[in-house]
Amino acid sequence: MTEIYLDIETQRLAEEVPGGWDNIRAFGLAVAVTWDEANGFREWYETDAGRLIQALRGFDRLVTFNGDRFDLAVLSDYGDVRELRSRSFDVLQDLKRRLGFRVSLEHLAQATLGARKSGSGLEAVRWWRSGEAALRRRVVDYCRKDVEILREIVAYGRREGLVKVPSRGRDLPVHVGWTA
């Protein structure tokens, strides 16, 4: 089974679009980063959105963190993503179903890997808007780091059969049946 990992950063925030969180497709693609075994990390910008959707269709599974609600919604403004939804493995949704609550990628990364993210989505929008090349590169690097963390969490879960979630001051092992 071929897999591709995806994360997206946007141009706008919820409070800046009519309908807010109910209109994620209007947030606009700033940058997407993917990783797959054959191609490694790749960067995609708004002008690449159609090609990105087409590339994602070439994989058996799309691995995301909140991709069902967010990343695919953003991409839906650039093309038909219905087919991708059936191939999606959204780690956040899987953990939410198991736990009964949402866990952030930051907290999951800290508890499972001892790793930290390199920023936040809010910062990424601000950096992107600056138009400065160095800050835009920072957004790409932030997005790439999120894909890297996601890939490592999934690998850990597959190898160990569990991931760790912070809960009441301790790390709670959550057994997962994630397969490649």
pLDDT at res. 123 = 86
Order of strands across the sheet that contains 88-90: 40-45, 29-36, 3-10, 61-64, 88-90
In the chain, % of residues over pLDDT 70: 99
The DSSP result for 147-163, as a single string, is HHHHHHHHHHHHHHSEE
Query: How far apart are alpha carbons 10 and 83 in whole angstroms?
Result: 22
- Grade residue 33 by pLDDT with cuts at 50, 70 and 90: very high
What are the structure tokens assigned to 90, written together? 């959204």
pLDDT at res. 87 = 95
Query: How far apart are alpha carbons 124 and 143 in whole angstroms?
Result: 9
In the chain, % of residues over pLDDT 90: 78
pLDDT at res. 122 = 83
> Of 168 and 45, which is predicted with more confidence?
45
CATH number of 3-175: 3.30.420.10
Q: Give Rg (Cα) of the chain.
A: 16
Residues 53/84, Cβ–Cβ less than 8 Å = yes
Segment 69-120, tens digit of pLDDT: 999 999 999 999 999 999 999 999 999 998 889 999 999 999 999 988 877 8
